[in-house]
Amino acid sequence: MNPIATRPRVIIIGSGFGGLFAARALARADVDIRLIARTTHHLFQPLLYQVATGILAPGEIAPATREVLAHQDNVQVEMGDVTDIDLDARTVTAATLGVARTYGYDHLIVAAGANQSWFGNDQFAEYAPGMKSVDDALELRGRIFGAFELAELAAAAGRDEEAEALTTFVVVGAGPTGVEMAGQLAELSRRTLRHDFRHIDPRTAKIYLMDAADAVLGSFDESLRDKTRTALEKLGIDVLLGAKVVDVDARGLEYEDEAGERHRIEALTKVWAAGVAASPLAGRLAEQVGLTVDRAGRIPVRADLTLPGHPEVYVVGDMVALDNLPGVAQVAIQQARYAASRIKATLGGKPVTEPFSYFDKGNMATISRFRAIAEIRRLKVTGFPAWVLWLGVHLVYIIGFKSRVTTLLHWLVSFLGRGRSERNITEQQIFGRLAMNRVSDLPEKAGRNVGWLPDGEDQGS
């Protein structure tokens, strides 16, 4: 029996911070929610770099959305790629394995987030993958640990120059993600792996952190940026600023310095942590209401997060351009809660009139074990106290007691000891994405149906 019949229908797109927190905020509302997301998990993106560097397992930062919402009776979770939203018809079309279905809604919350951006150079992605999904993190894990294995073979065969390129790592983008990634690569090579090889010394691995801007952690206070740079250099990381990547290939990358001079770094492993572009759904919505997306593809919503002429449609999180708010989890969470509170108030006949207002709880980033920076309004914290703060905040926001306990255990292994519990890699991790891309280039990819699902089914709108 379909429990969804007469109550107002709420569709939520996305199971990230925006989508999940919106669904939870509607737990007691007299509505029927359909949460549609491309993945079956809620992803805690801030810890992806720990999956990539072997500290955490994917399950700890990506619990099944279905399990998280199992006891919330007013929500149905559905795996699907939303391919269209028709604002006039009030419908959402989603597809799973090429089979489409269309649903009607009374209220819609769009929280489809952002994808990696290579600033118009998508060809870089093959050799410098980004870090936005579990797939990305596992692929990077495969590439990082695989590079050390190949370097060991090259050194054993006397090919020292090749071994050096194999143990050279370049992280592009010196925002929090790039800083955290570079810091972990330093810890991995200097601490974890130091006794594990016979022909190479992993401690001599070269790690570059580069950015076209002239500072690391550009969104933080200047004093914290300087401290971070010094701390990174102490870890043996080469910080290259004013360095714009102009070409990437299998064996290395080229960049231009501020004087316009071109340089090359031979490095097998490159990590792209430089840019994001909002989900294309932002553009699809903007078109329908006559808005223009910004350079990052984000939609300029109204102050109450709705679209002009469509008070029933909210857009939240990384897809949104509003008051120069950053693309961080807190913005998505607070916007999701605001949208949910407005839906509840509308149902109760007392519409909310106050616009969305963001409460900035501060910013933080880790540099390495026991070292972080945090900026909470005027308060600046560095070193060990900031790291403890970072630890606490992340434990609070990781979803589920089980994940918190296992994450804490893995952190004990890695931060108190020097081990990493998740060093396993497979060929599929390294080559899977490329193989899938090649398969998806085949003509039969369009409308591919693997035979389990009925064709082109259209459901209750």
Ligand X SMILES: Cc1cc2nc3c(=O)[nH]c(=O)nc-3n(C[C@H](O)[C@H](O)[C@H](O)COP(=O)(O)OP(=O)(O)OC[C@H]3O[C@@H](n4cnc5c(N)ncnc54)[C@H](O)[C@@H]3O)c2cc1C
Catalytic positions are 180
Residues near 191 by beta carbon (within 8 Å), at least 6 away in sequence: 369, 418
Neighbours of 123 (CB within 10 A): 12
Cα(310)–Cα(110) distance, integer angstroms: 13
327 near ligand X, rule: CB under 6 A = yes
Pairing of strands 237-241, 206-211: parallel
Closer by beta carbon to ligand X, 12 or else 200 = 12
Query: In which residue are the tokens 């090889």 written?
Result: 197
Cα(313)–Cα(418) distance, integer angstroms: 49
- Among 17, 103, 145, 148, the residue binding ligand X under the rule CB under 6 A is 17
Size of the site for ligand X (CB under 6 A): 32
19 near ligand X, rule: CB under 6 A = yes
Per-residue interface string for the shown chain with ligand X, residues 387-426, x marking contact by CB under 6 A: ----------------------------------------
- Among 330, 341, 421, 449, the residue binding ligand X under the rule CB under 6 A is 330
Q: Which amino acid is at 447?
A: G
328 near ligand X, rule: CB under 6 A = yes
Closer by beta carbon to ligand X, 330 or else 346 = 330
178 near ligand X, rule: CB under 6 A = no
Using CB under 6 A as the binding rule, the residues of this chain from 192 to 231 that contact ligand X are none
Residues near 25 by beta carbon (within 8 Å), at least 6 away in sequence: 336, 337, 340, 341
Closer by beta carbon to ligand X, 200 or else 364 = 364
Q: For residue 192, give the DSSP letter.
A: I
Q: Which two tokens stand for residue 11?
A: 């569709």
Q: Which two tokens stand for residue 422?
A: 């998740």
Cα(369)–Cα(181) distance, integer angstroms: 12
Closer by beta carbon to ligand X, 27 or else 134 = 134
The residues that bridge with 241 in the sheet, in sequence order, are 211
* Cβ 331 to ligand X shortest distance, Å: 7
* Angle at CA of residue 249, ends 244 and 252, nearest 5°: 70
Neighbours of 413 (CB within 10 A): 15
- Among 11, 18, 205, 282, the residue binding ligand X under the rule CB under 6 A is 18
Cα(4)–Cα(325) distance, integer angstroms: 36
Per-residue interface string for the shown chain with ligand X, residues 57-96, x marking contact by CB under 6 A: ------------------------xx--------------
* Cβ 38 to ligand X shortest distance, Å: 4
15 near ligand X, rule: CB under 6 A = yes
Stretch that binds ligand X, among 35-43, 52-60, 196-204, 441-449 (CB under 6 A): 35-43
Cα(65)–Cα(44) distance, integer angstroms: 12
Per-residue interface string for the shown chain with ligand X, residues 133-172, x marking contact by CB under 6 A: ----------------------------------------
Q: In what order do the strands lie in the sheet with 244-249?
A: 244-249, 252-256, 262-266
- Among 9, 10, 11, 16, the residue binding ligand X under the rule CB under 6 A is 16
Name the residues that contact ligand X, by CB under 6 A.
Answer: 13-19, 36-39, 45-46, 48, 81-82, 111-113, 131-132, 176-177, 279, 281, 317-318, 327-330, 332
